Amino acid sequence: MLFVPSSEIAARIVAFQSLLQSQQVDAALLRQNTDLYYFSGTVQDAFLLIPASGPPVFAVRRDVHRAEQQTPLRPVIPLESLKQLPSLVDKVTGRSSPRTLGMELDVLPANTFFFFDEKLFPKDRLVDVSGLIRHVRSLKSSWELEMMRGAAVIADAVARAVPQVLREGMREWDLLAELEKTARLAGHLGFSRVRGFNLEIYFGHVLSGPEAAEAPYADHPTGGPGISPAFSQGSGYRTIRRGDLVSVDTMLNHNGYLNDQTRNFSLGPSHTVLQDCYAMSRELHYWLQEHAVPGAVTGDLYDQVLDVVRKAGRLEHFMGPKDSGVSFLGHGLGLEVDEFPFIAKGQKMVLREGMTFAFEPKWVVPGIGVSGFENTYVVTEHGAEALNVTPDDLVMLP
């Protein structure tokens, strides 16, 4: 089992404490699994109390023994009742109420917030520190990049398996199953964490032919039919035919860290429109690698890419079918699918070295199919460097 180094945990907490001090927040109480893993190295059922200065306290409901094995933080305190939390906050802050306490209000259930606000900390001011957390997490360390490169290796194994298993007459669902097996054997954890409410994702979208262009219900450029209205996205039972373009969009997890990759395959020549769109997608990636430099504003990058597409006469069907298209081209990636930064309309975030994001310029053409590829990138001083190692060619199979 691969544990998060203690130096990583220490650096993250120091960076977060600096932001707490800048916002005059006395302490943060963290509860969400992704944030617990990021700041402690474990997802044991717990509350992590991080003061603006001084050592944190890790209060664990279950399992204390496993928590002590997996986190370098000390002390690890058994939490038998939520009523213990006020005294623990007194301890880490060095004073009693009134104080300003931070919580993850973007993901915390409302009833939990009201309980904390009205019952546990009625004299304190509770504020949202989710934005501070996400800013700290947006800058990846060399260790985190190593984890993300590991996820890219899994994605490469999946892409390389496609020509071995894809055949005319097989169902999308069967191809999906074969590729999921490959991913799991290569180390994929089998799930992807998402922060947004009601935003759901699993292995990815393995789609083919005209049905691939079915409008999505969620904030994705591609959707697919799925096999049930309970989760109507991704692969269906469609039979893959000669001439189909098959889009393999995977979200793979290595030790908690994600890689997003899309590659296209065809059984014989695919529709010329889709081939042209794929070539345009490659050109946009080359443009991005040069222009996504530290200091670039994400909303400006979005506008500039759209301008390139508009001048090429390819704006129709770009990033989704008519009336269902999305207003982003890229999303931050790391421990969650939807991290900072977003290359999206109106965004003002400035790129910094060490930020990671997935870039996915795609065309969704009704009655024909989907086309375009996706890479995960890290911002360097010279531009965007792809973490993916899979060649970006459209693979035509005999």
- Rounded to 5 degrees, φ, ψ at 366 are -55, 135
- pLDDT surpassing 80 at residue 136: yes
Which tokens in the block code for residue 57? 């306290």
Cβ(351)–Cβ(341) below 8 Å: yes
- pLDDT surpassing 80 at residue 322: no
pLDDT at residue number 371: 97
* CB atoms closer than 10 angstroms to residue 77: 18
Report the first-to-last Cα separation within the chain, whole angstroms: 42
Give the tens place of pLDDT for each residue, 238-283. 999 999 999 999 999 999 999 999 999 999 999 999 999 999 999 9
pLDDT at residue number 202: 87
* CB burial string 356-365: b at 16+ within 10 A, e below: bbbbbbbbbb
Reply yes or no: is the peptide bond before residue 392 cis, omega within 30 of 0.
no
Report the alpha-carbon distance of residue 191 to residue 302 in Å, rounded.
29
- pLDDT surpassing 80 at residue 323: no
Picking from 354, 247, 342, the residue whose alpha carbon sits closest to that of residue 297 is 342
Lowest mean pLDDT among 124-128, 218-222, 327-331: 218-222
* CB atoms closer than 10 angstroms to residue 284: 21
Task: Give the whole-number percent of the chain exceeding pLDDT 90.
Answer: 95
Cβ(385)–Cβ(336) below 8 Å: no
pLDDT at residue number 215: 85
Report the alpha-carbon distance of residue 62 to residue 293 in Å, rounded.
44
- pLDDT surpassing 90 at residue 216: no
- pLDDT surpassing 90 at residue 1: no
Cβ(27)–Cβ(50) below 8 Å: yes
Cβ(314)–Cβ(282) below 8 Å: no
- pLDDT surpassing 80 at residue 78: yes
Does residue 126 sit in helix, strand or coil? strand
Give the tens place of pLDDT for each residue, 281-304. 999 999 999 999 999 999 999 999
127 bridge partner residues: 102
pLDDT at residue number 348: 97
Cβ(84)–Cβ(59) below 8 Å: yes
**This prediction's pTM:** 0.96
- Own/partner pairs, 127-130, CB within 8 angstroms, 24+ separation: 127/23, 127/25, 127/100, 127/101, 127/102, 127/103, 128/102, 128/103, 128/104, 129/19, 129/20, 129/23, 129/25, 129/28, 129/102, 129/103, 129/104, 129/105, 130/104, 130/105, 130/106
Give the tens place of pLDDT for each residue, 139-165. 999 999 999 999 999 999 999 999 999
Picking from 165, 173, 162, 159, the residue whose alpha carbon sits closest to that of residue 226 is 173
pLDDT at residue number 7: 98
pLDDT bracket for residue 218 (50, 70, 90): confident
pLDDT at residue number 299: 98
* CB atoms closer than 10 angstroms to residue 352: 14
Report the alpha-carbon distance of residue 368 to residue 362 in Å, rounded.
13
Task: Give the whole-number percent of the chain exceeding pLDDT 70.
Answer: 100
